[in-house]
Structure 1
């Protein structure tokens, strides 16, 4: 569609122009219900009034000044994040999830070197996704992402997600960290088991390794809790965030407890990370999402969405293989249908979804989605299922 952009994305043939709340419009005036939300980014929907106010107010004062100086928005956002998570600790700001994970990897390596020159290995889970830069890609245990770019960074090994026995076999005194997503996103919305995460925590303590939770996709209210780890009663040493934290602006954050607070001047940095503009917006996003009544609504909306999808699974068992997820992070695994092709059908009908691994469609609407909009989206989704059923019947006969 555009001869000047690199072909790095398989895009839908629409040009989006503007949005409001849970809706977006293309250049031709067609309206879409957005159940992708920029892949879990537009947490407060489109053109949110509070977000826009914070953006305008800060843009008129100071957009960027570099990290050679202190700024009030950066300090306030860091304080908010630590108070609402670990209680004690520090924050490093980046511009994305992959950058946050790169910083976490460096923290882990430096932590390990405090004890032994051989303590540098990092374990990550199969089917994980931690980013596309070399360190984060090396932690991403999916061959389809890694193969074209080998050789990767040395020192990464993999274990089967939700399989504690496999992790036990891989643990050793040379492991400096274990990194995993409490809910795997890009592989198709696969939640960790509570007992598994608790045992991972115990193993990391036994081997003096850091536990890193990548909550780039599942954090910041997406599950109905401010942070996904709060669902599991397991606190990591390092927590990475991005996506929904900026409500649409690029920001990444690495939170560390006191044990993992080891970076010093010169160890790491970011020119744009934590600039006053994105931090001001992130403060407004975090203040809104962290309200108990807001999170309660997310939890209720998530249950309504999931129950509606489970009803459709029961009604169309030949098309829907599985429905899984927590809060407003739901995956629908299709049976013998291409998720990409099916999502294209949904686009034509006015519903935006995000395909993922294992032939799964991700339902990641803005956290402000209404019950009425959920019902509307489910109706469109069912209508697309019916179209596929009809097409299959005609093909058969």
Structure 2
């Protein structure tokens, strides 16, 4: 479970000395997990409302996922993509069946790589299907954060809002890349505006690409948030919850012949281990969705959020989000930081998003008991502010 030869102080010292300082580490050591619960070596229990930033979509220590991974590590972990990878083919088939889009898929390892592939598709489309080279891509400034800005920065234009997209479109534009659930002011884009944009881009032969790396794989209640918006994008990217903790990402494209062998590739993308894990995750979540459990749990979780919002108007302004991708607006950044610290003291893990959001991304199969216990701790944390 954990290395008994080292104390946490030793490990923190090693981390400080040998690991680049890109993260502000908390002095905590988790040794195992069970569902939405995490335990330290001394059995101190935390409730996890973050699930590794929405990555552990079927919770910690999931038996079905564990068995699939263990069995696959015994047989084959990795081979070159020049050979047939059984579970890659089966996973691609399953994703297409679940989303219902007529597309083909490229597998990679992360959100960044999935979006990089989308940009490659857009640029190749701009050269292949037009008389003049079209290589400009428009993104919504508020939709892309983290490390997106430096991806192929040349000829990527930022629109401040969805209306400004139309002002930036010209003869050289090949694609518009948006994130539906992280839009202007963090509120997500309006359904009618997105449908209007989709129609206009179709008329102009410009690709609509949607980043579903956070919102996909049932996180918003449907397999894709795009389904909720009533649109069919040309390109979709997914990652976070797909592998249940095993790194894997995918780029879906309705331009099925955009690549030929040798045009693009990934060394680790879609290997035996990651695709077997992802297929297991989708089988688990497909069953949960089919039984109505994801919808039920989402409603239960959001009811608690509404109660917190009403009980602490001095701390929170409003609730936003879809499904189990939700957040509370706090009054200011100082309150945000105090809530995060107070929740940690109450043994609850929640997430910081920007300067004024407390984000909640629990496992999609979190139990009602875990939700109830987690919100008891959250209310105690808020009462201390």
TM-score normalised by structure 2 residue count: 0.91
Equivalent in the alignment of 2:300: 304
Is contact 1:226–1:289 with CA below 8 Å preserved after alignment? no
Instruction: Rate the CA distance shift 1:384–1:130 in 2: closer, same or farther, 3 A.
Output: closer
Map Cα deviations across residues 242-269 of structure 1 (whole Å, 9 max, x no partner).
Answer: 1100001000101111x35401122211
Equivalent in the alignment of 2:105: 91
Equivalent in the alignment of 2:182: 184
Tell me the SS of whatever aligns to 1:355.
Answer: strand
**Residue among 366, 370, 374 paired with 1:377:** 374
Equivalent in the alignment of 2:159: 159
**Residue among 253, 275, 288 paired with 2:271:** 275
> Once the 2 structures are TM-superposed, how far is the Cα of residue 17 of structure 1 from its aligned partner?
1.6
Compare 20-29 and 97-106 and name the one that shifted more.
20-29
Map Cα deviations across residues 256-290 of structure 1 (whole Å, 9 max, x no partner).
Answer: 11x35401122211100000111011111111212
Which segments of 5 or more consecutive residues in structure 1 lack a partner in the other structure?
A: 140-151, 389-397
* 1:137 equivalenced with 2:146 (yes/no): no
Compare 232-241 and 371-380 and name the one that shifted more.
371-380
Instruction: Rate the CA distance shift 1:188–1:299 in 2: closer, same or farther, 3 A.
Output: farther
> Once the 2 structures are TM-superposed, how far is the Cα of residue 169 of structure 1 from its aligned partner?
1.2
Is contact 1:41–1:247 with CA below 8 Å preserved after alignment? yes
Equivalent in the alignment of 1:125: 140
Which segments of 5 or more consecutive residues in structure 2 lack a partner in the other structure?
A: 1-11
Tell me the SS of whatever aligns to 2:340.
Answer: helix
> Once the 2 structures are TM-superposed, how far is the Cα of residue 108 of structure 1 from its aligned partner?
0.4
Tell me the SS of whatever aligns to 2:175.
Answer: strand
> Once the 2 structures are TM-superposed, how far is the Cα of residue 344 of structure 1 from its aligned partner?
2.0
> Once the 2 structures are TM-superposed, how far is the Cα of residue 131 of structure 1 from its aligned partner?
5.2
> Once the 2 structures are TM-superposed, how far is the Cα of residue 87 of structure 1 from its aligned partner?
4.0
Instruction: Rate the CA distance shift 1:387–1:130 in 2: closer, same or farther, 3 A.
Output: closer
> Once the 2 structures are TM-superposed, how far is the Cα of residue 26 of structure 1 from its aligned partner?
2.1
Equivalent in the alignment of 1:145: none
Aligned equivalents of 1:273 and 1:43: distance in 2? Answer: 20
Aligned equivalents of 2:190 and 2:381: distance in 1? Answer: 32
Aligned equivalents of 1:11 and 1:117: distance in 2? Answer: 50
Is contact 1:329–1:364 with CA below 8 Å preserved after alignment? yes
- Give the alignment of 1:224-263 within 5 angstroms: 224-257=221-254, 259=255, 261-263=257-259
Aligned equivalents of 2:277 and 2:371: distance in 1? Answer: 27
Is contact 2:101–2:232 with CA below 8 Å preserved after alignment? no
RMSD: 1.9
> Once the 2 structures are TM-superposed, how far is the Cα of residue 117 of structure 1 from its aligned partner?
4.4
Map Cα deviations across residues 360-389 of structure 1 (whole Å, 9 max, x no partner).
Answer: 11111101111222121111111111100x
> Once the 2 structures are TM-superposed, how far is the Cα of residue 79 of structure 1 from its aligned partner?
1.1
Tell me the SS of whatever aligns to 2:358.
Answer: strand
Aligned equivalents of 1:214 and 1:100: distance in 2? Answer: 9
Equivalent in the alignment of 2:34: 20
> Once the 2 structures are TM-superposed, how far is the Cα of residue 153 of structure 1 from its aligned partner?
2.0
Aligned equivalents of 1:269 and 1:263: distance in 2? Answer: 10
Equivalent in the alignment of 2:171: 173
> Once the 2 structures are TM-superposed, how far is the Cα of residue 137 of structure 1 from its aligned partner?
2.6
Is contact 1:332–1:360 with CA below 8 Å preserved after alignment? yes
Equivalent in the alignment of 1:322: 318
Map Cα deviations across residues 93-120 of structure 1 (whole Å, 9 max, x no partner).
Answer: 0001110000000000000112144410
Aligned equivalents of 1:57 and 1:188: distance in 2? Answer: 45
Aligned equivalents of 1:130 and 1:79: distance in 2? Answer: 31
Aligned equivalents of 2:65 and 2:185: distance in 1? Answer: 30
Is contact 1:126–1:160 with CA below 8 Å preserved after alignment? yes
Instruction: Rate the CA distance shift 1:213–1:248 in 2: closer, same or farther, 3 A.
Output: same
Aligned equivalents of 1:58 and 1:241: distance in 2? Answer: 23
- Residues paired across the two proteins, number: 369
